[in-house]
Amino acid sequence: MELKKIYLSDLSAAWDKFQQSHLLFPFYRSHGQARSEFLAAVKRGNGYWIQRKSHWLLVDKIDEGDTWRINNLLISTDLGWRTAFLWLENAARQKFKRVLVLNLEANLILQQWLTAQGYRLVENVWRKELVYHTGLVLGGGGARGAYQIGVWKALLEKDIQFEVITGTSVGGLNGALIAQGDYNQALALWEEIETDKVLDITFKEVEELDFSAQVDQLRTFIRTSLQQRGVSSEPLRRLLEERLEAQKIHAGCPFYVVTTKVPVFQEIVVPIHKCPEEEIIDWLLASSAFFPMMAMAKIKGELYVDGGYRNNLPVDIALQTPITELIVVDVHGPGFDKKYRLPDETAELVLASPWSLGDLLLFQSDRSSENIDLGYLETKRAFGELQGDRYFFSRHADFEAITKAFFRYLQNKLAVDMRALYPELQKFFRQSVPIEMLSLAFLEFFAYWVNVSPVKVFTPEEFIETILKQFEMPVKLNAVFSVQEQIEDFIENHNVFSDYYRVLQIYQLKGSPETAYRRWPIPTLLALFFRYIRNEEIT
């Protein structure tokens, strides 16, 4: 649940419900006036909403650095006002805003309630300083864990401190680096990391790590692990001995890792901040012993394997500490994710990339660097500092203007029924896509199919130029990408039944596009959009 920008097409699709919404607080004299003013705010780009099931909260908000200035709040008829107010504060906490300002006149009863909630009347507005008690949860995921270091970089820029850190497997290793507070050490470790620096395994040297070399490495890995009942992680121990400082970990915030005791298969939670110095690395290795690919860890005569077998994303452990917000970084590792109940008053920010982060057990420094960049940019976007869905653009990139220009281009070429188009959009893209942001969705569709790298902040002009260039000269995935990714890319690019191939077929059609539009409205618009960005005329 998060605060998202709302567009006129969103309101249009739920107009009857919008007309029934009413004021949460007396920002205006009447509900009707508040609805009219909210429509004006949406046109100015200041309209936002939170939707959960059939409930919604509409917010007229202006960003002023670390402050949100709230000028209007509307709620659906069946949403309680206390819940709505909690949603607003949680949304601010998700973005780590420092101040909430309510621009309203309050009667005596409301004044007393606002005062009890921590608001103060300052220069005719109600102002609240938000106090943060933040927990960080780092999931397991092997070589994909570099993403978490990129997330940390973005959190450092906002000076976010933690009251508790929990981690499993590689999340435990990264948690130790974060707990000791040395970003440069963490960055250096991941930028130089390779599989043979983590595990006691030797790959035959090749001049270039191409697809076949990667397959050979995986075969070698599997064969060695079967022969040795798990590959030894002694190289990782030496790496951690070089990078970790027990004194800093002991002086940091509470930090817990999860491992699994065998043969009883019992979850063991270890408070690393309280461990004797000589045991810290032992427990970190126990948490990340991904048996049978990696050897079991032995501590005081007991055997342990990867904590992911019991709790790969240890949110429940973090919630045992009184916190007001929780940052969860999931790198899609295998294992068991426990269900948990988030307290209503706790905000949650979940960071999990829509992109594949590579192989689980093949560590490559180049791929780690890309994943660090991806984690950094996706966190910045989560804070509202960038826009985009899979790719990244500045907040000021005007895709609404590009969409309007495209529809002007279409005016005399195709009759488009916007009302009918809205549900088709959601179905095609499997997510909410406002009509106004159609150009962004279309551009990202083409960029994904021609393998545009996401680890860059683009301008719309740069993005279009890159797409067209790679359409003419396709970019093949290199050895930085996993075997699975290269196989999937091969299948997708040779699948004549895919959406992409349908768009290309329509693009190549001669004559009027009306017949194709009636059957495949969104693919037809994509084909016409591609002609538009290539400055082609429809014959």
Residues constituting the chain:
539
Q: Which helix (H) or strand (E) holds 268?
A: strand 266-271
3-state helix, strand, coil in the chain (%, to 5): 45, 15, 35
Helices (H) and strands (E) in the chain, counts: 23, 19
Strand partners, 56: 51
Please give the Cα distance from 118 to 133 (Å, whole number): 16
- Among 306, 330, 359, 373, the active-site one is 306
Decide: helix, strand or coil at residue 325.
Answer: strand
Measured CA angle at 294 (ends 260, 308), to 5 deg: 35
Q: Is the dihedral of CA 40, 45, 51, 57 positive or negative?
A: negative
Q: Which amino acid is at 161?
A: Q
Q: Which amino acid is at 401?
A: A
In which residue are the tokens 């040795």 written?
228
Closest to 318 (Cα-Cα) out of 106, 139, 534: 139
- Residue 283 contacts residue 146 (beta carbons within 8 Å): no
Closest to 531 (Cα-Cα) out of 446, 470, 421, 418: 446
361-371 CB burial, b ≥16 within 10 A, e <16: bbbbeebbbbb
Name 185's Cβ contacts closer than 8 Å, sequence gap at least 6. 177, 243
Strand runs labelled E in 53-155: 55-64, 67-75, 99-102, 120-122, 125-129, 134-138
Please give the Cα distance from 351 to 498 (Å, whole number): 29
Q: Which amino acid is at 512?
A: S
Report strand pairing: 164-168 vs 255-262: parallel
The answer to whether residue 212 is catalytic is: no
- Among 21, 76, 169, 288, the active-site one is 169
Closest to 78 (Cα-Cα) out of 22, 35, 36, 19: 22
The answer to whether residue 306 is catalytic is: yes
Please give the Cα distance from 442 to 452 (Å, whole number): 14
Active-site positions read 169, 306
